[in-house]
Structure 1
Amino acid sequence: MGRSDSIVQKDSLDLPLFNLSTLIVATDNFSSNNKLGEGGFGPVYKGCLEDGREIAVKRLSVISTQGVEEFRNEVIFISKLQHRNLVKIPGYCVEGTEKLLIYEFMPNSSLDLHLFGKSITKILDWLQRFHIINGIARGLLYLHQDSHLRIIHRDLKAANILLDREMEPKISDFGLARSFGGNETETNTKRVVGTYGYMSPEYAGDGIFSTKSDVFSFGVLVLEIVSGKKSRQLFYQDHNHNIAGYAWRLYKEGKTLEFADESLIELNDIEVLRSIHLALLCVQHRPEDRPDMSMVVMMLSSDQRLPEPTRPGYYIEDDKFGPENSSSMPTQSPTVSHCYTMTHV
């Protein structure tokens, strides 16, 4: 038995183990015609099992240096988590050098394609966007407080939000997730992993992560959903503002509604303003100033007056980092640890 087999099988899993031959048939031998996309750890293929179930198969690349740990995380965490806003794994496969994860198939693909994809013909309306925001919030609340594992996702972004037939959002990709035990509230790491543009200041700079790191990422994601623009996009020629800086500037100028996606025909002004305000609370520079996810869910569903946000923390990245790739690097790297600043107005 190889090392990857023992890493997965030493944990008690209530999850079917698939034969490689079954997945070869289901995906037509991993045909390029069935390829749905490719992430940092390998390609994903659409498949159909003999019983008619549609699946998505993530085939971890054999050249991935981080594949074993991330594979183990996905199998263990998702198999033990059950929530309508988390993606489900019907099974997995470990055979020879092959490591594959089987997901429920999401016919509406990922959120980033609907927000930023050029091939999408139908724009998400505001009702759908607000529903997606609420669903992601409920999923995060479950991870942080209601599940017995107490999970910090660490790579929450639009590409990791999948949409089912009813456009219900499902948080996916738990390869970088970590669980907390006992009364732990935060920890640190020498290897910062995640996606530039979504990382909180304390995590990117010092390797300190907590549930408030996910809250920061959620805030960035909400700003993307409302505006239809990417987090790393700069919005002013004379100011190096990313999405948080831009939202903050408009908020301070009393022009918050101008932040909303111009393609939206019908808006609920109250919900839009509340979503932007809440997002600014989530991306505040100091983690102790950010709300936890139970407060976020409550704020989304009530008309209670929200506290005033402080300036968000944001950073300007070195161009050598790709905008959509999950990355990892030591916390001592000056490119990461010294790139955070505060917005200026």
Structure 2
Amino acid sequence: MGLEADDSSSPGETVMVVMDANRSRGNVHAIEWALRHVARRGHTVLVLGLLCEIGKRASCFPFHMGEKLERLGEGEVDPTELEEEIARKRDEYKSCLQPFYRHCKKNEVKLESKIAAGLCPRKVTVDEAQSCNTCWIILDSHLKKDKTYIYAHVCCNLALVKGKDVVTLMPSKVILQKSSLKHRRVDDALLSNEPITDDQEEKSITPPPKTCCWYPLAWRTGFPRYFTQSELEVITSGFSEENIVQTQDNVKVYQGQFQETPVLVNCFSQNDERFWSMLRILSRVRHRNILNIVGYCFTGSSMFLLFDFPFMGTLEINLQNDDLAEKILWKARWYIAVEIGACLRYLHEQCVDGLIVHLSVCSSNVIYPLGGSAMLANFMTAKCLKDGSPGDNQSLTHCLNLQEDDGIAIDVHDYGIFLLELITGRSARCSLDPDKEDLIDWALPAIEKGSLSEVRDPRLTDTTDDRLIHHMAQAALLCLQDLNRRISMSEVLAVVRGHEIARPGC
């Protein structure tokens, strides 16, 4: 669709056009759209080319055309290969941008370009946007999978250019908080995002009601951050007993409000090692399906972690309520399986600082935020198993003496039980009741013989998504049937997504 961009930006601001520099030909549609619809007199248009496939552990290497390469981090990358690739891309970008210089000069728009090499295009884009006065980020079509993460970590407008004058707009949070008619057309564009496809890595965020509190604090710029105890006293009404929503394992959980957004404040006793473990892990991980911290505080007697309030409760609560469970259709349950599976794969295989295992994956530790995406919560038992970074003698204490493969196996096994919970609609915690049959003992034999009808949630009668149920069932078998086989979350997630049908022992 052809769209006119909102003219809310000011001179002196930067319009970033982000392109996948690994492609043999740059996507000039993004530049053309930015210059035609967004750039105004006095703006700087920064074309950022991202090289994401050099080296195995390369950090970000910002490189301005015509300037000396400045290495900002250590990484396993061949300097010669890096220099040659950047030199080639420099010449390619100069040629690509040449036709636009005259247009920019005529309209008093400054055109700059930069190449960045590294493994994390999302982080490079967010960091660059936050380092300058950015009013728009324009992504080329090759960066479609990164748009949700980038949008969650910036406050400016974002556009994904999918073709010539075919654009998806995601307006800034400031615009989302206004209800004036001037911005209603842009909101309509946001609501018309493309449908989800089976091979899409991440599900787009469904825009929730446009209030000042819908956007999670943990996703906003400037969070997580340190809170003073006086701030926490305001948030919790002086740690009022009326604000306590839960007390478990010597942790008090208070409900409160910060910046008109509901939050939960977990209060730990002095020297509770779980506080330091959670702070250490959650301050390093960034994934849209992890309930991350909003902030933290530690005093002489108490320690606190702040989280966004889980508006729709845990998955377990929703499955135990018939009215709520009927609204979680098979496609939604499959999405939940994919999201939590991708989250575990991130923890096991993609964290820059090393392997992390959760060790407590179940429906009672998966929550719904207001936006509708499932999020893994409760990192009380989580452990870093590959952490070579220096630590604080007091706070960053030793991790559990747990073998790497054993930790992964526990998460994979728990994920298999979690899939059974999605399929059957039953909570795994019912297995703790001696009067009720164990979930695995009841469901697994039926799935093994192909009798899904015996165990599938009877509250959902629609059979059009049987294929998705089958994928989840096959993945559950893979996780639970052969405990001696070491299986990765990448293998399991492939089965959930239907990319391959793997069987235990194959």
TM (norm. structure 1) is 0.69
Partner of 2:357 in structure 1? 152
2:231 pairs, out of 3, 15, 22, with 22
- Provide the C-alpha distance between the structure 2 equivalents of 1:243 and 1:309, rounded to a whole number of angstroms: 23
Partner of 1:257 in structure 2? 453
CA 226–36 in structure 1, closer or farther in 2 if over 3 Å, else same = farther
Deviation readout 1:13-32 (Å, 9 max, x if unpaired): x9522112211211223344
Partner of 1:172 in structure 2? 377
Number of equivalenced pairs? 271
Q: Is the 8 A contact 2:255 2:263 kept in 1?
A: yes
1:104 pairs, out of 308, 321, 332, with 308
CA 27–221 in structure 1, closer or farther in 2 if over 3 Å, else same = same
Q: Secondary structure at the match of 2:264?
A: strand
Q: Is the 8 A contact 1:45 1:57 kept in 2?
A: yes
Matched, 1:141 2:141: no
Partner of 1:294 in structure 2? 490
* Alignment of structure 1 residues 3-42 onto 2, 5 Å: 15-42=224-251
Matched, 1:162 2:162: no
Q: Is the 8 A contact 2:359 2:410 kept in 1?
A: yes
2:462 pairs, out of 266, 276, 301, with 266
1:243 pairs, out of 433, 436, 439, with 439
Name the stretch that deviates more: 84-93 or 134-143: 84-93
Q: Secondary structure at the match of 2:246?
A: strand
Partner of 2:386 in structure 1? 181
- Provide the C-alpha distance between the structure 2 equivalents of 1:257 and 1:122, rounded to a whole number of angstroms: 17
Matched, 1:230 2:427: yes
Matched, 1:88 2:300: no
- Provide the C-alpha distance between the structure 2 equivalents of 1:265 and 1:58, rounded to a whole number of angstroms: 40
- Provide the C-alpha distance between the structure 1 equivalents of 2:325 and 2:456, rounded to a whole number of angstroms: 19
- Provide the C-alpha distance between the structure 1 equivalents of 2:423 and 2:235, rounded to a whole number of angstroms: 38
- Provide the C-alpha distance between the structure 2 equivalents of 1:34 and 1:118, rounded to a whole number of angstroms: 28
- Provide the C-alpha distance between the structure 1 equivalents of 2:424 and 2:339, rounded to a whole number of angstroms: 18
Q: Is the 8 A contact 2:263 2:308 kept in 1?
A: yes
Q: Secondary structure at the match of 1:22?
A: helix
Deviation readout 1:44-79 (Å, 9 max, x if unpaired): 222111x323321111256xxxx6211001111001
Name the stretch that deviates more: 27-36 or 132-141: 27-36
Deviation readout 1:74-112 (Å, 9 max, x if unpaired): 111001100111112121111231211001222112222
Deviation at 1:137, TM superposition (A): 0.4
User: Which runs of structure 1 show a deviation greater than 4 angstroms over 4 or more consecutive aligned residues?
Assistant: 117-123
- Provide the C-alpha distance between the structure 1 equivalents of 2:301 and 2:412, rounded to a whole number of angstroms: 37
Name the stretch that deviates more: 299-308 or 215-224: 299-308
CA RMSD of superposed structures (Å): 3.2
Matched, 1:60 2:265: no
Partner of 2:283 in structure 1? 79
CA 264–285 in structure 1, closer or farther in 2 if over 3 Å, else same = same
CA 39–134 in structure 1, closer or farther in 2 if over 3 Å, else same = farther
Letter in 1 for 2:497: S
Q: Is the 8 A contact 1:85 1:169 kept in 2?
A: yes
- Provide the C-alpha distance between the structure 1 equivalents of 2:321 and 2:238, rounded to a whole number of angstroms: 28
- Provide the C-alpha distance between the structure 2 equivalents of 1:103 and 1:220, rounded to a whole number of angstroms: 26
Q: Is the 8 A contact 2:481 2:504 kept in 1?
A: no
Deviation readout 1:279-300 (Å, 9 max, x if unpaired): 1211234242x53111122222
Deviation readout 1:199-225 (Å, 9 max, x if unpaired): xxxx9xxx9832121000111111112
Deviation readout 1:242-301 (Å, 9 max, x if unpaired): 11122222124431232111111324111112211211211234242x531111222222
Q: Is the 8 A contact 2:349 2:355 kept in 1?
A: yes
Letter in 2 for 1:39: Q
Higher relative contact order (CA 8 A, sep 6+): 1
CA 36–226 in structure 1, closer or farther in 2 if over 3 Å, else same = farther
Deviation at 1:182, TM superposition (A): 7.8
CA 145–234 in structure 1, closer or farther in 2 if over 3 Å, else same = closer
Deviation readout 1:285-332 (Å, 9 max, x if unpaired): 4242x531111222222353332579xxxxxxxxxxxxxxxxxxxxxx
CA 256–265 in structure 1, closer or farther in 2 if over 3 Å, else same = closer
TM (norm. structure 2) is 0.48
Q: Is the 8 A contact 2:244 2:252 kept in 1?
A: yes
- Provide the C-alpha distance between the structure 2 equivalents of 1:128 and 1:34, rounded to a whole number of angstroms: 33
- Provide the C-alpha distance between the structure 1 equivalents of 2:362 and 2:472, rounded to a whole number of angstroms: 17
Structure 2's unaligned 5+ residue stretches are 1-222, 389-398
Q: Is the 8 A contact 1:109 1:163 kept in 2?
A: yes
Q: Secondary structure at the match of 2:226?
A: coil
Deviation at 1:180, TM superposition (A): 2.1
Q: Is the 8 A contact 1:54 1:104 kept in 2?
A: yes
Structure 1's unaligned 5+ residue stretches are 1-13, 193-202, 311-345
Identity %: 23
- Provide the C-alpha distance between the structure 1 equivalents of 2:294 and 2:349, rounded to a whole number of angstroms: 24
